[in-house]
Amino acid sequence: MEVNYPLRVIKKMMVKNIKLFFSIFLSVIFLSHANAVCKKDGGKLYTSGAAAAPVQDVGDAFGDSCNDVPDVYQIGFYRMSMCSENPDPVGAANPDFSSCQDMLADTGALTTVEISGTSESTLSVPEFTIAPGSYGYMVARLSAKLGIKHAFEATAKVVSNSAPSVTRAAGSYCWTVNNFITGVDNTPDIVTSFGTTKNADVLDHSNFACSDTASDMTKAEFTYEIVYVNDNGGCVSFKPNGDRETFPGNVGNGIATSRMMQNATTSALNCANSSSILWTVALDTPHIVTTESNFQMNFKTTDAISIDFDNGAVGKPGIRKAGANPIQANLTVSEPSAPE
């Protein structure tokens, strides 16, 4: 079931002092997560398959990972803009924002939002002006560090490790813990500005804890994943232009390009100095803005957590990590209805 999460902040437009519904936009793909939607049994995560392939998707295929709606998704933004020209054209060493109008100006400060389940979230931003015109591009710069807080009850007991090869007792109730950070491609020992990434599979380590006590699920903490590369080949294939990648196919409202950045204006040179993601969408249909325009954004965190198990486990399912999948959003620019 897809659920939209509106994120609304009412601001006065400085041009004519008109109220706007303002929201942030995003449709991040990062690396492709092909996991299927988790099957549930009475609200419980179905974990009754073979230990190495314990979860089942809605098409009845068993595997070692599946996607779900996270309890809380944490993401930080530096910039949100609409642009009349492509700010990230092919061949550019660095982006050019000269044609952009900012809804959230990039000052270097991080604005963090937490999207919780099916509830609405509020993001406070300074007042802004969007000049009337045609805008064929949307752009955002966001932190490369994404947080997930999640807990679930399983149909069969799950094993987790509190340290490499140190196994906790199996339990039916599992929750995220903040004991190490992972990278989007699981490359270990990448020294990032957020800390050094670890590979949960190689280390035989878990960023979930499990027990047989239901109240333990209230202990859930944010666990973090770093997105530092766009190429499916991982860090060894990092391209010198910030690993710029235009993704095939339509993301729902246009064609998307991602570039890893080390700061507001300079492309990253490698995984280690990728601190943020520049996300640009070439819109299928340009947004036409007037002095009367309203802006509204609907969020979806459907499938935004990947729950990953040990594909070599024996006996009982062994859980490894919570991966941060993309959130989705759609920006609507509309005009007020004429009075009758």
Q: What 3-state DSSP class applies to 63?
A: strand
Question: Do 129 and 105 contact (CB within 8 A), yes or no?
Answer: no
Bridge partners, 113 (sequence order): 75
Stretch among 234-238, 245-249, 282-286, 327-331 having the lowest mean pLDDT: 327-331
Is 218's pLDDT higher than 90? Answer: yes
Q: Within 10 A of 76 (CB to CB), how many other CB atoms are there?
A: 18
Model pLDDT, residue 337? 62
Model confidence band, residue 338 (pLDDT cutoffs 50, 70, 90): low
Model pLDDT, residue 334? 75
Model pLDDT, residue 317? 93
| Higher-confidence position of 39 and 296 | 39
Over residues 138-146, mean pLDDT: 92
Question: Do 316 and 279 contact (CB within 8 A), yes or no?
Answer: no
What H or E segment, with its residue span, contains residue 34?
Answer: none
Is 14's pLDDT higher than 50? Answer: no
Model pLDDT, residue 291? 83
Is 274's pLDDT higher than 70? Answer: yes
- Give the highest mean pLDDT range of 72-81, 161-170, 261-270, 311-320: 261-270
Nearest of 50, 36, 46 to residue 311 by alpha carbon? 50
Model pLDDT, residue 104? 86
Model pLDDT, residue 54? 94
Over residues 278-297, mean pLDDT: 85
Model pLDDT, residue 61? 83
Report the C-alpha gap between 256 and 174 in whole angstroms. Answer: 35
Over residues 122-130, mean pLDDT: 70
Is 16's pLDDT higher than 60? Answer: no
Over residues 126-130, mean pLDDT: 77
Is 19's pLDDT higher than 50? Answer: no
Report the C-alpha gap between 198 and 213 in whole angstroms. Answer: 28
Model pLDDT, residue 184? 84
Stretch among 116-125, 135-144, 199-208, 232-241 having the lowest mean pLDDT: 116-125
Token pair 């954004």 in the structure block, residue = 297
**Percent with pLDDT over 70 in the chain:** 83
Over residues 194-204, mean pLDDT: 84
| Higher-confidence position of 240 and 298 | 240
Model pLDDT, residue 298? 61
Phi, psi dihedrals of residue 191, rounded to the nearest 5°: -85, 100
pLDDT digits (tens, 9 = 90+) for 56-69: 877 778 899 999 98
Nearest of 214, 228, 136, 137 to residue 175 by alpha carbon? 214
| Higher-confidence position of 40 and 124 | 40
Q: Is 315 left (phi over 0), alpha (psi -120 to 50) or beta?
A: left
Model pLDDT, residue 56? 85
